[in-house]
A and B are shown apart, each in its own frame.
Chain A
């Protein structure tokens, strides 16, 4: 994470996400999957092919791509279908866009009810016998049972969670890095899924995105760094208020 300053001098914290060897693996049409939209399987981050059996390599062989550590699905409209085997780059996103980022949260192991669900526990003194971080009562007398989904101690973390509506401040096309506002679930160097935001406030935010994606062998020559309009770039002199 890094600080970033706007032209009015405000500071925001920004997470750096690297797009590492992402390729489209397979196209699943609406009829095949049985859902409302077509799907594209995308794989990221190359990994050695020797730790999995040959049967697991079929998808990658069809696309002509080395084995990937993670395969995710993206629901796509029919006009945004991409041929399997095309690489995807950070320039697919543009500064000023809003994204949702999904990742597995940091695993905390087996945790008690105070840390896991935020229960208040019991006081430290005034006669409490061996009861300081326990859940207390778990149901009422009339119910005569414990409801399903009752908050109790258990394994915490290591589940998929999404941060919605994060602004993209800057894109580095040379190293394929997306600078995303705020924090993102997951530990450092973990695999993360970045998707256009589904929030209704940001529905019309994306003006002229590279559609269906940014092709590296196309005619467009992008500069190394793409900045949002409001970012303070370090090539400018210090901010003054007139």
Chain B
């Protein structure tokens, strides 16, 4: 550039590069598996501490991936009566239950027009591998209504390839509204007790209104039912991260 004074132009150092690191996970969206959170009760916390030690020990040897209700998993278990001595089952996780070492998850799939649900224990030593084929969430915590939905919503290809996913992306929420088979259903899913958002109810308006008769709007304000797990979760997260780094 041409300087105004005739002196050589003052050296302007180049602007420092601003690095936006999108690869590392954000601190707020850390995942804590729900079976680590102890239920509300009068049991000695020492019992949960010992159980957690065993769970961490198992996790060090065997990788239990992060998954939610609504993700598609493939589980291989050891089976003494199979020819290959192992069984592989692919399905969508419809429910995660239990706390501690007895935590379970139920996988559902429709194989040759027959709906099959298998309940696996997360910490059972017979499980050889758990792969997450598709990691996603759904609008509900419990997808038991898939039993009364059209079978196309529960069929998943057994030889499905894992869907690639970047680490820093948020977990996608699948907002699919499932279409149901005609009534009768195994449970009255339209009732507010189940609070299901993932069904496209094609029932007449007066039936939906009649179902609201069983609503209990005082439940969300009941203080005795409150269970604030934020502090407990923080402690357990710290404990987990310390132990797994060892």
In the complex, whether A239 has a CB less than 8 A from a CB of chain B is: yes
Residue in A3, A16, A172, A188 whose beta carbon sits within 8 Å of that of B102 in the complex: A3
A11 contacts B124, C-beta separation under 8 Å:
yes
Scoring A2, A172, A177, A232 by chain B CB atoms within 10 A of each residue's CB, the highest score goes to A2
- Count A-B contacts at CB 8 Å: 63
Residue in A2, A5, A237 whose beta carbon sits within 8 Å of that of B124 in the complex: A5
> Please, what's the 1-or-0 string for A158-185, where 1 marks a CB less than 8 Å from any CB in chain B?
0000000000000010010100000000
Scoring A5, A18, A242 by chain B CB atoms within 10 A of each residue's CB, the highest score goes to A5
Given contacts A9-B126, A237-B61, A239-B125, contact A18 B46 (CB under 8 A): yes
Summarize B's interface: helix, strand, loop or mixed: mixed
In the complex, whether B177 has a CB less than 8 A from a CB of chain A is: no
In the complex, whether A201 has a CB less than 8 A from a CB of chain B is: no
B58 contacts A2, C-beta separation under 8 Å:
no
Given contacts A9-B126, A242-B85, contact A189 B44 (CB under 8 A): yes
- Number of B residues whose C-beta is below 8 Å from A? 28
In the complex, whether A235 has a CB less than 8 A from a CB of chain B is: yes
A175 contacts B50, C-beta separation under 8 Å:
yes
In the complex, whether B51 has a CB less than 8 A from a CB of chain A is: yes
A2 contacts B51, C-beta separation under 8 Å:
yes
In the complex, whether A51 has a CB less than 8 A from a CB of chain B is: no
B46 contacts A240, C-beta separation under 8 Å:
no
In the complex, whether B47 has a CB less than 8 A from a CB of chain A is: yes
Summarize A's interface: helix, strand, loop or mixed: loop
Complex interface: chain A residues within 8 A of B62 (CB): 237-238
Complex interface: chain B residues within 8 A of A240 (CB): 78, 85-86, 128
In the complex, whether A50 has a CB less than 8 A from a CB of chain B is: no
Scoring A3, A172, A175, A236 by chain B CB atoms within 10 A of each residue's CB, the highest score goes to A3
Nearest CB of chain B from residue A192's CB, rounded to whole Å: 14
Residue in A11, A177, A189, A234 whose beta carbon sits within 8 Å of that of B61 in the complex: A234
Complex Cα distance A165/B233, Å?
A: 39
A9 contacts B100, C-beta separation under 8 Å:
no
B50 contacts A16, C-beta separation under 8 Å:
yes
B79 contacts A241, C-beta separation under 8 Å:
yes
In the complex, whether B8 has a CB less than 8 A from a CB of chain A is: no
B125 contacts A5, C-beta separation under 8 Å:
yes
> A188's closest neighbor in chain B, by CB?
B43
> Please, what's the 1-or-0 string for A84-115, where 1 marks a CB less than 8 Å from any CB in chain B?
00000000000000000000000000000000
Apart from A3-B102, A241-B79: 20 A-B pairs, beta carbons within 8 A: A2-B51, A2-B101, A2-B102, A9-B124, A9-B126, A11-B124, A18-B44, A172-B50, A177-B50, A188-B41, A234-B54, A234-B57, A235-B57, A235-B61, A237-B62, A238-B127, A238-B128, A240-B86, A241-B78, A241-B85
What 6 pairs across the A-B complex have the smallest Cβ distances?
A: A234-B57, A241-B80, A239-B125, A234-B58, A9-B126, A232-B125
Which B residues are closer than 8 A to A by beta carbons?
A: 41-44, 46-47, 50-51, 54, 57-58, 61-62, 78-80, 85-86, 100-102, 121, 123-128
